[in-house]
Amino acid sequence: MTSLLIFGGLGALLVIAVVLVIMVLRQGRSEEVETPAPAVPIMTEALETEPETFPEAVEEVETAPSFSPHSTDATLPSNLISFTNIRINDVDLDSPASYQPAGQIEFGMPGDYTDVEGIITFRGSNFRDRPAYGYANMREHAFGDSWTKSSSSLGQWSGSGWTGQPLMMKWPAEVKAHMNMYDWAKAKDDLVEVIYATMDGNIYFLDLETGQETRDPMVLGFTFKGAGALDPRGYPIMYLGAGINSPMYGTAKAFIINLLDCSVMYTFGCGDPFSLRGALSFFDSSALVDAETDTLIYPGENGILYLIKLNTNYNEQAGTLSIAPDNVVKWRYNGTRSNATTYWWGMEDSACVYGGYMFIADNGGNLMCLDLNTLELVWVQDVLDDTNDTPVLSVEDGHLYLYISTSFHLGWRSSSVAEIPIWKIDAETGEIIWSRPYNCTTMDGVSGGVQSTIALGKHDLSDYIYVTVSMTDSVSTGVLSCIDKKTGEVVWEHKAYYAWSSPVCVYNTDGSGVVIYCTSQGEVFMLDGLTGKVLSQMQMNGNVEASPAVYNDRLVVGTRNCMIYGVQLK
């Protein structure tokens, strides 16, 4: 021990001597050099502020399922549907079985629906599973800076209502050059245009980054509840339906709009005499377009499905656009429970489509699988009540499934409490795989149950679905439920005020995901998708009935209190 101490003392003296020599040498060098080298703290600061990098996103592989839809004894269409009819160019077919399509409709996987940069229909694709575009790459998992843009009212209808999702598009420069955008918007290379049809009768055009108007609002004078849709081919066309009659212009209708100059090219569905529901002609559905056959697919609350050959002629270089609709096919159905007072005809939700088959629910408690090429029903499942949430398609282990729920219309099944099941359904047969029930109450004109559309988890959240259920404990409360796809078991719940707004899953490129949802009291929650932990919360001004859309790290949604919000996710 003594020898070690002596050696340590001598070592210390040697170290001190070396340090003194180095200091003298450095001082001599500093007198010779005019510009000193950067000090170490500056280099350290630079390293500390270097931006965090995220891994390159690994896209999930979309494998098309084998699919041969057919009914079982429990899902025979005749159990719930008494008849169907077809009308082509205002001429009725003697027999629906004699229908011949103008072209074979065939939809692929959701990633094949469009290759544009944006969100162009309600929930983004023909599977209704993509309300967010791109990746947010959140570091703090928090709500950041926001902008607001005011809207207004039309009669009793104010701001943005159900379903009310905005559309978003990053137009190519060649398309913008011929648009009626402001010059600064045309010149902004990375402009993403928010296209928001609201209940005040206007369509607003906004810069996603700032909320600044990119062009004058388009004034149509009808209340728009639904999201509308853009053309999946990137053509500057918008398909949009009025959700209620106009105090100025009368009966509601659907519009096809030229987004080069914001002119109306075509309307249809106004007081259609083919409807079994009388003069009602509302359109809350968000359309799909089959690009190969140039066919618009548009369900109506009047109980009619419209298939319209558009004959689109678009010249991008010249900036010219026209359509010449013909072969207007109308399909209608009659439910065995349907009448003028309960279990109405009509489709307020949006259709999802795979192959040549469309899946849609109606106001009369029928979930239908329709062959779009024969216009024959394949199967029909009883979904109990006035159903407004859009079915969502999901491929799992090579098989196609649907997720859907229903609402509680006062007095149809009950005048107090009713069961609201959340279903996983075999898309091939219509058979129920599992059912997860909630007991809900309701109010006249403000339904309890599920008005929102289920969010399908992907990446790290791929085992789960997320659904908001309204009026679970009282008329003011609700729950966001995370449910296991395989078992139907509830993994976690988040309780707050009730929500009609649909939840949105948002991801970083590493696959980690959060769930964002808005409530009837203007609360916006960001939750850990795996645990339900609240990561961030903000307050908006007014009831949020509308469903948000997300482009990379920017969320946009409107409120009933006439305010549109753009919120950064950081």
How high is the pLDDT of residue 193?
Answer: 99
Residues 6 or more apart in contact with residue 176 via CB below 8 angstroms: 185, 186, 191
The answer to whether 481 touches 422, Cβ cutoff 8 Å, is: yes
Residue showing tokens 């902008």: 147
How far is residue 407's CA from residue 467's CA, in Å, rounded to a whole number?
Answer: 13
Q: Determine the average pLDDT of the residues in 136-149.
A: 97
Q: How far apart are CA 90 and CA 268, in angstroms?
A: 12
Question: What are the tokens at 491?
Answer: 């993994």
Q: Higher confidence at residue 210 or residue 49? A: 210
Per-residue 3-state assignment (H helix, E strand, C coil) for 140-188: CCCEEEEEEEECCEECCEECCCCCCCCEEECCCHHHHCCCCCCHHHHHC
Write down the pLDDT at residue 46.
Answer: 34
Rounded CA-CA distance 69/487 in Å is 23
> Is a pLDDT exceeding 60 seen at residue 554?
yes
Q: How much is the CA Rg of the chain, to the nearest whole Å?
A: 28
pLDDT category, 33, cuts 50, 70, 90?
very low
For 120, 165, 220, 365, 461, the CA distances from 549, given in Å and listed in that order, are: 10, 6, 23, 28, 18
**pLDDT at residue 23, as a whole number:** 39
Q: What single string gives the DSSP state of each residue in 189-246?
A: TT--EEEEE-TTSEEEEEETTT--BSSPPEE--S---S--EE-TTS-SEEEEE-SS-B
Q: Check: CB of residue 526 under 8 Å from CB of residue 567.
A: no
In the numeric block, which tokens belong to residue 478?
Answer: 């609700």
Whether residue 539 contacts residue 548, with contact meaning beta carbons closer than 8 Å, is answered with no
pLDDT in tens, 382-410: 999 999 999 999 999 999 999 999 999 99
Residue type at position 524: V
Rounded-to-integer distance, Cα 89 and Cα 414, Å: 42
Task: Give the type of residue at 452.
Answer: S
> CA-to-CA distance for 549 and 284, rounded, in angstroms?
17
Look at the block and give the residue holding tokens 């100059």. 261
Mean pLDDT of all residues in 77-92: 97
Distance CA 455, CA 424 (A): 13
- Beta-bridged to residue 527, according to DSSP, are 515, 534
Residue 197 backbone phi and psi in degrees, to 5 = -85, 130
What pLDDT digit, counting tens, does each position of 225-242 carry?
Answer: 999 999 999 999 999 999
**pLDDT value at residue 35:** 32
CA distance 323 to 429: 37
Tokens of 268: 């249809």
**pLDDT above 60: residue 568:** yes
Q: What is the DSSP letter of 39?
A: P
Q: Does the domain at residues 86-96+104-569 carry the CATH identifier 2.130.10.10?
A: yes
The residue type found at 146 is S
C-beta neighbour count of 511 within 10 angstroms: 16
Closest CA to 468 of 522, 528, 405, 513: 405
DSSP class per residue in 454-475: PEEP-GGGTTEEEEEEESSSST
Which whole number is the average pLDDT over 134-149? 97
% pLDDT > 70, the chain: 91
Q: Is 517 helix (H, G, I), strand (E, B) or coil?
A: strand
- For residues 40 and 43, what is the distance between their CA atoms, to the nearest angstrom? 5
At residue 295, the pLDDT reads 98
Check residue 51 and give its pLDDT. Answer: 54
Q: What's the whole-number mean pLDDT along residues 242-250?
A: 97
Domain ranges of the chain: 86-96+104-569
Report cis status (omega within 30 of 0) of the bond before 163: yes
- 4 pLDDT above the threshold of 70: no
- What is the β-pairing status of strands 549-551 and 132-133? parallel
- Is residue 347 within 8 A of residue 254, CB to CB? The reply is no
- Separation CA 211–CA 204 (nearest Å): 10
Residue of 274, 380, 415 whose CA lies nearest to 331: 274
Average pLDDT over the chain, rounded to an integer: 91
Question: CA-to-CA distance for 549 and 492, rounded, in angstroms?
Answer: 24
DSSP string across 365-407: SEEEEEETTTTEEEEEEE--S---SPPEEEEETTEEEEEE--E
Cα distance between residue 530 and residue 96, in whole Å: 48
Residues 6+ apart with CB under 8 A from 461: 505, 507, 513, 515, 529, 530
For residue 281, count CB atoms less than 10 angstroms from its CB and return exposed for 0-12, middle for 13-18, buried for 19 or more: buried
State both tokens at 2. Answer: 């003594």
Residues 6 or more apart whose CB falls under 8 angstroms from that of 206 comprise 149, 193, 194, 196, 212, 213, 214, 556, 564, 566
| pLDDT for residue 52 | 63
What is the torsional sign of CA 126, 130, 132, 135? negative
